[in-house]
């Protein structure tokens, strides 16, 4: 049995938007759950309108919304909310990321959902949580990177403050959401009540910074901007060769000695400044200057061959095209093709980084409202009522 069959028969309502909630729902969908994505008219999920677009669809939306069915509902109307609660009544999991105050204003709260379905698991995702302060503050990934302190030690020492480019707080919060939901499903019994899971991007940020947090609490020293370097090891950074850049990562004195041997610089290993990790950290600038001079004398390929020959972790700094085309990436079979009968050729999707043999994307990301008639008719609505509820002309592929 593949992981795709893990949650066959599970019904998930995805009321969330942007990245974190949709990613959590997609993980469950990839594992076999029937995920119904409820979107508002007329534009749907906030990410549907973002560039870049492919065949009229936003790639951000495509990245985190496969294996779902899309239903359009205007939940600002009483009739739309009633229809939503009918869907909640048949769901196992509800994932929501309403902006601060919106859920309460619409009467779509955890308590209300469980009045309709006492065993439903509700996962609420926000930027700063549900406390008296956090519940009033909206936020996106980049904002939380800034507020959490993460940006303060990201980038080069002499450079401006920068964000980490991938939406790592959204995506990791989505992963924590999926994990928390799995735990709640494992705990649920026929006699148990549902649970309310509350996740915040801020919490994910501090978890990602766990060793920086403990380092600060232990010493009182704030983490510093080190560019590609590391606070606890050296040499551990990007170096420039004659024709490009590569990353060198060492963690022990023995590894440093092997680096020196590979570079024909054995005297460095005996230099009192560099013999220990703590010494190399204290003399980081001097060490980097000596290594940089040496690495500039030959090509990336030459240095990688030498370093790999003595068991040192090193690799070329690739752009995304180079990385996707590399033999290492191809070997992992990360790119998968959805069903070609309903999906234009030329755009693979990334599988989850689990279950490589059974991974698949049997249902491509849905068109807005593609499944409104299918889903709403199953809970008793006729075509005229569905048209009124959705306020959008629905069409299938």
Which residues does the annotation mark as catalytic? Answer: 170
Inter-residue contact 277 to 233 (CB < 8 Å): yes
Q: How far apart are the first and last CA of the chain?
A: 30
Q: How far apart are CA 274 and CA 266, in angstroms?
A: 11
Instruction: Retrieve residue 86's tokens.
Output: 């009918």
Number of Cβ within a 10 Å radius of residue 226 = 17
Inter-residue contact 120 to 92 (CB < 8 Å): yes
Q: How far apart are CA 293 and CA 268, in angstroms?
A: 13
Number of Cβ within a 10 Å radius of residue 222 = 11
Inter-residue contact 312 to 250 (CB < 8 Å): yes
Q: Which long-range contacts (CB under 8 A, 24 or more apart) does 347-355 make?
A: 347/54, 347/55, 347/62, 349/62, 349/63, 349/66, 350/63, 351/30, 352/27, 352/30, 354/3, 355/2, 355/3, 355/4
């Amino acid at each position: 049995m593949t992981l795709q069959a893990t949650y066959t028969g599970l019904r998930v309502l995805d009321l969330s938007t942007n990245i974190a909630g949709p990613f959590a729902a997609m993980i469950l969908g990839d594992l076999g759950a029937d995920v119904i994505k409820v979107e508002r008219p007329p534009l749907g999920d906030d990410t549907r309108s973002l560039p870049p677009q492919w065949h009229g669809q936003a790639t951000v939306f495509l990245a985190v919304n496969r294996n779902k069915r899309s239903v359009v509902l205007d939940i600002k109307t009483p009739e739309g909310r009633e229809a939503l609660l009918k869907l909640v009544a048949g769901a196992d999991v509800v994932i929501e990321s309403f902006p601060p105050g919106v859920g309460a204003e619409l009467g779509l709260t955890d308590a209300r959902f469980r009045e309709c379905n006492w065993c439903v698991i509700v996962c609420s995702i926000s930027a700063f949580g549900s406390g008296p302060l956090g519940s009033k503050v909206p936020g996106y990934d980049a904002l939380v990177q800034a507020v959490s302190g993460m940006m303060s030690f990201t980038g080069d020492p002499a450079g401006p403050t920068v964000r980490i480019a991938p939406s790592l707080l959204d995506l990791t919060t989505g992963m924590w959401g999926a994990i928390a939901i799995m735990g709640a499903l494992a705990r649920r019994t026929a006699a148990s009540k549902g649970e309310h899971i509350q996740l915040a991007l801020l919490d994910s940020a501090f978890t990602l910074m766990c060793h920086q947090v403990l380092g600060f609490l232990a010493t009182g020293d704030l983490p510093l901007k080190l560019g590609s370097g590391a606070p606890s090891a050296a040499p551990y950074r990007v170096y420039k060769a004659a024709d490009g850049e590569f990353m060198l990562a060492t963690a022990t004195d023995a590894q440093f000695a092997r680096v020196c041997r590979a570079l024909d610089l054995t005297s460095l290993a005996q230099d009192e400044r560099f013999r220990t990790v703590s010494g190399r950290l204290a003399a980081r600038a001097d060490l980097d200057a000596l290594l940089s001079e040496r690495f500039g004398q030959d090509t990336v390929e030459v240095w990688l061959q030498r370093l790999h020959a003595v068991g040192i972790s090193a690799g070329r700094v690739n752009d995304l095209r180079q990385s996707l085309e590399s033999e290492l990436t191809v070997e992992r079979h990360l790119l998968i093709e959805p069903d070609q009968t309903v999906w234009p050729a030329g755009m693979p999707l990334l599988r989850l980084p689990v279950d490589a043999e059974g991974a698949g994307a049997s249902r491509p990301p849905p068109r807005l409202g593609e499944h409104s008639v299918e889903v709403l008719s199953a809970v008793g609505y006729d075509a005229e009522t569905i048209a009124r509820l959705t306020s959008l002309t629905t069409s299938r592929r």
